[in-house]
């Protein structure tokens, strides 16, 4: 059995899912692991998910899967765009500060 997002899949279901994803999105590539455990991001993937040489990526490992997630160069701007403008009341800010102080002690 394989675990995918907390749901159990048998091998046949997993293969069907992978084939479906490949046919529907074209977002998969088969690459070979090199002698130093390096992989090449193929051109068709780079066109869809632009990455630059030297850019940092987050490698998420969930047995038996690996997922590469590009980290934006301007992380602060990307986070601000993602979560928007967050405002806190004085009471919320005080509770947050108290919680952080408890966690550090």
pLDDT in tens, 9-44: 566 666 766 666 655 556 677 788 999 999 888 888
Statement: the pTM of the whole predicted model exceeds 0.85: no
| Distance in angstroms (rounded) separating the CA atoms of residues 96 and 98 | 5
Residue 29's pLDDT is 77
Q: How many domains does the chain have?
A: 1
Examine residue 99 and state whether it is found in any structural domain, yes or no.
Answer: yes
Q: Which of 67, 41, 65, 64 is nearest to 54 (CA)?
A: 41
Is the residue at 96 inside a domain? yes
Domain-embedded: residue 63: yes
pLDDT band at 6 (very low <50, low <70, confident <90, very high): very low
Structural domain includes residue 65: yes
Cα–Cα separations (whole angstroms), residue 72 to 23, 49, 57, 85: 28, 11, 9, 19
Structural domain boundaries enclosing 41: 30-104
In a domain, 23, yes or no: no
Is position 24 within any domain? no
- Reduced to 3 states (helix: H, G, I; strand: E, B; else coil), residue 46 is helix
């Amino acid at each position: 059995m394989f675990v995918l997002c907390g749901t159990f899949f048998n091998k046949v279901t997993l293969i069907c899912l992978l084939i479906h994803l490949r046919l529907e999105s074209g977002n998969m590539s088969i690459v070979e692991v090199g002698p130093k455990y390096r992989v090449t991001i193929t051109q068709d993937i780079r066109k869809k998910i632009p990455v630059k040489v030297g850019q940092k990526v987050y490698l998420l490992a969930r047995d038996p899967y690996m997922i590469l997630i590009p980290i934006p160069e301007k992380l602060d701007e990307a986070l601000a765009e993602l979560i928007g403008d967050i405002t806190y009341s004085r009471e919320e800010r005080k509770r947050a500060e108290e919680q952080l102080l408890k966690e550090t002690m």
